[in-house]
Chain A
């Protein structure tokens, strides 16, 4: 049995609004990315997380700037939620020298240590073992920092998951393992590739708490993330959070979605967390429609500014091939 959370923390009104701001920033940024790809202004593989916004938004509302994340190729939502500035993000997506990785990483490999975005990996499962190292360093430093390892349901079937969760538990590392279970490992349906009905149950085998979370409900994500982060900061060790969600745009943007039915996709999209949370905020009197519209407009302006900035940046010079291989530049 996966566990049920006993003491549920609830975000106050300001935090709810903060979570919504992070969600809409993810969604507007994602929409703009797909638009730019469709228009042919950028050429890059893109793994949209449309539909999964609640997960990093809820978690990041509880993280400090110096808390760290290690994420994966479908990970821009995690960075945007962690308040990564959009100009260097977009310059990187566009392959420009002013990109956060000087155009050497691209959308699958963004890094931005200032906001705690430490590693983004294109290899399924590899965020977890490295997250352990950051958490080990936090323990040695004697800080209360935590590290979040983001990954998908498919990654829970790779060996790195097992090794990393076991080690984190043995060493009582301050890591939160966050699995976005969107029901598909690339094109393979969850039940055809995963032997257990809930990934959270696997936590039992590692001696850590495991929860299955409604990944489309920001308040449920918040409550579970709160417990996991408190536990990590208290030195009690890691937690596995399985956040159930759905990806609206397939595996890689542009794929034909032939592996899911139109009906199930339509049903999932009808439960789009963004309009639902927006309506809840209005109904609960947290914000007015006008205020939320103004917030959206502000974010759209930030996204548009970042895109135009990125497009105006230079491409990297070929000398970059000799730089950053080692600390010392390789002679021409």
Chain B
């Protein structure tokens, strides 16, 4: 068995990203890293993702910045257009709001608006996710905003192996890529191939085969989904689980093939349900598979409110396993 030959190691997402950045910087002198507090002098990043990089590669290539998100993204854009491959950290996803002009009007659009003369091969790293009582300005999932913007790719990994592989691909991608790191995914250790290589962007991962229902999710919500799926298995519902990994451009082929096979689809994400990625996926699936589905496409996401502070409210805000189980059973009973 070839899988037996893959040497595995327990590693968390944080270590996997660090390993990817180390490897990418070692292999390619054009790779740069910048952001608030990211150099070792400032602690190697707010949760330590970039620890060791400035010591190894120097503070010319690994630069801590002022708290200036527009200046961070602007500097990354210019350096990228001049032939470098910057990895710019926006500490938390809510802080992308103060750099929206640079990200949306410039990074994403300059290739198109210049008729292909400008290339902006940069990565924007950003951390988010509810569950730590950080409330409404430190925890939002805004992937739909960026997925709605033509010209920037949006990636939300779950496993450490995917972090490593998707980072390696994103850094070498000729276009801007935003990678969203969701809190829990950085800290839960998982078996990871020691020599994990690049994983292509835009490809979903069928985590578990099943026959009754296709369940699509991504990021830290995958932990919740896997808990629910275990319970569903005990209850006799066979779920095919797809980790979308890349939100834009998303892997329609894999999702459509699975939904056609099972006849039922449930999309679960932490982002708000209203106008969330689930809406786009559901709309596409009904356009392509109308008449072949046994049940309407189900969607679970956050309610239409800001991320709350109180633990009780935060727990109610987040999609929990019982909600997934109930919705999956409801859909599985149809058709």
A-to-B contact residues, CB < 8 Å: 70, 99-105, 109, 111-113, 118-119, 121-123, 126, 128-141, 147, 159-160, 163-164, 166-167, 170-171, 323-327
B65 touches A101 (CB 8 A): no
A160 touches B70 (CB 8 A): yes
Contact A132 to B75, CB < 8 A, known contacts A123-B101, A167-B68: yes
B80 touches A133 (CB 8 A): yes
Chain B residues, Cβ within 8 Å of A122: 105
**Chain B contacts with A in 249-263, Cβ cutoff 8 A:** none
State the interface size on chain B (CB cutoff 8 A): 43
Contact A111 to B71, CB < 8 A, known contacts A134-B81, A167-B66: no
B75 touches A136 (CB 8 A): yes
B65 touches A137 (CB 8 A): no
Question: What sequence of 0s and 1s flags, for each residue 98-125 of chain B, a beta carbon within 8 Å of any chain A beta carbon?
Answer: 1001100110001111111111000000
Contact A121 to B75, CB < 8 A, known contacts A133-B80, A140-B84, A327-B119: no
Chain B residues, Cβ within 8 Å of A164: 70-71, 74
CB < 8 Å neighbour of A129 from B74, B86, B118: B74
Question: What sequence of 0s and 1s flags, for each residue 178-198 of chain B, a beta carbon within 8 Å of any chain A beta carbon?
Answer: 000000000000000000000
The verdict on B131 contacting chain A, using a C-beta distance below 8 Å, is no
Chain A residues, Cβ within 8 Å of B101: 123, 126, 160
B36 to chain A, nearest CB (A): 12
B68 touches A104 (CB 8 A): no
CB < 8 Å neighbour of B78 from A105, A109, A137: A137
A58 to chain B, nearest CB (A): 24
CB < 8 Å neighbour of B75 from A126, A167, A324: A167
Most buried by A among B68, B105, B153: B68
B112 touches A324 (CB 8 A): yes
Chain A residues, Cβ within 8 Å of B79: 133-134, 136-137, 140
A126 touches B105 (CB 8 A): yes
B76 touches A133 (CB 8 A): yes
**Chain B contacts with A in 110-168, Cβ cutoff 8 A:** 110-119, 150-151, 153
Chain B residues, Cβ within 8 Å of A136: 75, 78-79
C-alpha gap A130/B75 in the complex (Å): 5
A130 touches B78 (CB 8 A): yes
Contact A135 to B66, CB < 8 A, known contacts A105-B115, A324-B116: no
C-alpha gap A118/B83 in the complex (Å): 12
C-alpha gap A99/B116 in the complex (Å): 12
C-alpha gap A321/B71 in the complex (Å): 30
B81 touches A326 (CB 8 A): no
B271 to chain A, nearest CB (A): 23
B110 touches A119 (CB 8 A): yes
Closest to A161 in B: B70
